[in-house]
Structure 1
Amino acid sequence: MLFRLRPDSAGPIFAQLADAVRAELCAGRLHPGDKLPPAREVAAGLHVNVHTVLRAYQDLRDEGLLELRRGRGAVITEAGEHLRSLNDDVRALTAKAAALHIGPETLSALVKEASHDFR
């Protein structure tokens, strides 16, 4: 699994890492039972502190998406499967927007505006 950080992002690195895992789950590229790379390996590859990666993994564990076990590492739980439906919803939304001749920029603005209701 390849983690990518956005240097221009105002968000903390651990949140970007957790978001990357959620995105992989949504896209169906991660499945229950899949193992994430060891925190030390991710930290070395991204040149970040291992505690930053562990914080991301712990947040995902607290959400029920990861199981952390000594000797087994970080494993995607069955709860991660429910995120896949979000990908289906996004695809349906983009198809509907395209049918209504709503471009990606406008759709993105609508989604951002709607997301403020959940903060």
Structure 2
Amino acid sequence: MLITIDPTANVPLADQIAASVRGAAVRGELSPGDRLPPAREVAAALGVNLHTVLRGYQRLRDEGLVDLRRGRAAVLTDAADGPRLAVAEHVRALVEAARRAGLGEQELHTAIEDAFNRP
């Protein structure tokens, strides 16, 4: 499924839903104009309250990443490309900084994994 959550995480479920959609957009799994699954279907599939899914979708709307209208599908806006492009730009800058510092590819991977696993 496109949207996943971890019920044991210390992150609110609505935030996890929004992050899951953002992540799918960054990975290129979603593109501007794509429709998100109906909130009722997501709620049923994840076993969460409908309002939790709607809060996640509303966060995305507040960020300008989703066009959300009552009774219509949630649709990714052109702004959804922004996070993907921003991450790609940061990655290029990080790789360049690592090269200047004399780090190899494996050392950079290790540094990223360490940073990712820190609380």
**Same fold flag (TM > 0.5):** yes
Q: TM-score, normalised by structure 2?
A: 0.79
1:61/1:68 contact within 8 Å kept: yes
Matched, 1:104 2:101: no
Q: Does 90-99 or 102-111 show the bigger shift?
A: 90-99
Q: Share of identical aligned residues, percent?
A: 44
Alignment of 1:56-67 (within 5 A): 56-67=56-67
Deviation at 1:83, TM superposition (A): 1.5
Q: Could you say what secondary structure the match of 1:73 adopts?
A: coil
Q: Residue 83 of structure 1 aligns with which residue?
A: 83
State the aligned residue count: 113
Q: TM-score, normalised by structure 1?
A: 0.79
Distance (whole Å) between structure 2 residues aligned to residue 12 and residue 74 of structure 1:
21
List per-residue Cα deviations over 1:25-83 (Å, max 9, x = no partner). Answer: 11111111100001000000000000000000001000100011234210001111112
Q: Residue 117 of structure 1 aligns with which residue?
A: none
Q: What runs of 5+ residues in structure 2 fail to find an aligned partner?
A: none
Structure 1's 111 and 13: CA in aligned 2 closer, same or farther, altered over 3 A? Answer: closer
